[in-house]
Amino acid sequence: MGSRHFLRKQKSTRYRSTRYALRSTPPPWKTEKVYFKGASYFRDLVQAIHRARRTIDLETYNFEKSWLADHLVRALERATSRGVRARVLVDGVGSPDFEKDYGPRFKKSGIAFKVYRSWPVFFAGIFRHFHWYHLIESHRWFRILLRGGKHRDHRKLYIVDGGQVWLGSFNVNDNHISRPPRNRAWRNTGIRLGGVGDAVFGLAFELNWEDSWPHGRGRQHKQLLKQKLARRLSSGPVRMTQNRRLRIAYRHELLEHFQGAKKRIWILTPYFIPNRALFQALVTAARRGCDVRIVLPGRSDVPMVQWVSSSFYYPLMRAGCRLYHYQKTILHAKTLFVDSWIAVGSSNLNYRSLRMDLEVNVLPQAERSKKSLEDQFRKDLSQSQEITAEMVRRRPLTLRFLSWLFFRFRFWF
């Protein structure tokens, strides 16, 4: 409903090219391994933690009290007991109970941890800076804190000894492995990079670890880290949306790929709320004969996002895009295919990932990895139900209203 107006309002906009400058440099890692099951992903991660000699840095959006989290914590405790430095960084919104659940245990075993921009810090900051006799200044601080609090650390980035990196869509909770009572893990995708010779992942972790929100003594160090990170991201197959400039560059790169697609645009994402430019680019690509296929969750862990996504179904299908609902379990994987360009990581195709959240993605370099991702996408299609125009028209009135209502608040998702 709302997307028809959304499409009519689209203006023909040509962005100045700000794509990552790709040079003919070798990839900053030696080996790749793609994962589609949490059991094997976390098994290899835990084994690497057992073999770690120097450092372990874990950064994730959701670190939830669970069997998997306990298993991972035990491995970290054994590592610190033999002198390895271990650090864990979680998001304040994604892991609201982390400090209560694991803080005492981490402190006892010597595991360093931080919570990225927690809401208790937000409210404490408001209380500290609010004064009745300085309402204007207090309002200014409220805006600063609120703006900073909107940016969440959505990355799933696990680094062992600097040279082994795991990333993708796997959080630390039992939804990502098959265990009772659920027994059916969410559908995720991850990748392990071995022999990493570039410090870009470590720099990104340090930047969030040193985050001095809203302001503090670490601000100068933060600016130096940002400069180093920006220089290292100017080329190569890593996409790190660490700041506003890099988020704009990533959006423009996606747009240029969509606009230039010759054969295919395949999208696998749990949260689909594209901005106007990307939405129009998908419509235009389908109309010129490009194979546009979008796989979305049949049952979502965030129903409100699914209601918003359904606003885009009819105009996309009318243009020739094919949409699917994944049926086997909850879809949480994020993969993009545009002709031969493939990206995998933590980014969704929604407003939060495109404009607010900190994400990390890579472009797989090995042909074996690319083929594995393509084969899995075809397998996902076989386990999905194609959405038809008749299905969209027959949606209950209640769902149509919710879709229309939450479309007005799409910038929140």
Average pLDDT by stretches of 10, the chain with 413 residues: 48 40 62 96 98 97 96 97 97 92 96 86 51 54 59 94 96 87 85 91 90 58 68 78 88 96 97 95 97 96 88 94 96 97 96 92 96 98 94 83 78 65
Angle at the Cα of 387 (from 385 to 389), degrees rounded to 5? 155
Strand partners for 358: 153
- How far, in Å, CA of 373 to CA of 265, rounded? 14
Q: How far is CA 399 from CA 208, 383, 396, 407, in A?
A: 39, 24, 5, 12
Please enumerate in sequence order all residues whose Cβ is within 8 A of that of 82, keeping only pairs 6 or more positions apart, or say none. Answer: none
Phi, psi angles (nearest 5°) of residue 184 = -125, 110
Could you tell me which of 361, 359, 354 has the C-alpha nearest to residue 411? Answer: 354
- How far, in Å, CA of 343 to CA of 275, rounded? 19
- pTM value? 0.86
- Secondary structure letter of residue 29 according to DSSP: -
Asked whether the beta carbons of 170 and 156 are under 8 A apart, the reply is yes
- How far, in Å, CA of 396 to CA of 403, rounded? 11
- How far, in Å, CA of 249 to CA of 31, rounded? 27
- Which pLDDT value is given to residue 281? 97
Q: How far is CA 193 from CA 90, 110, 382, in A?
A: 21, 27, 29
- Which pLDDT value is given to residue 219? 57
Angle at the Cα of 362 (from 174 to 329), degrees rounded to 5? 30
Rounded-to-5 percentages of helix, strand, coil across the chain: 45, 20, 35
Tell me the domains of the chain and their CATH numbers.
Answer: 2-16+241-412 (3.30.870.10), 33-117+152-228 (3.30.870.10)
3-state secondary structure of 222: helix
Amino acid (one-letter) located at 401: F
Q: How far is CA 226 from CA 43, 178, 195, 205, 361, in A?
A: 33, 39, 24, 11, 18
Please enumerate in sequence order all residues whose Cβ is within 8 A of that of 154, keeping only pairs 6 or more positions apart, or say none. Answer: 61, 91, 94, 346, 352, 353, 357, 358, 359
- How far, in Å, CA of 328 to CA of 331, rounded? 8
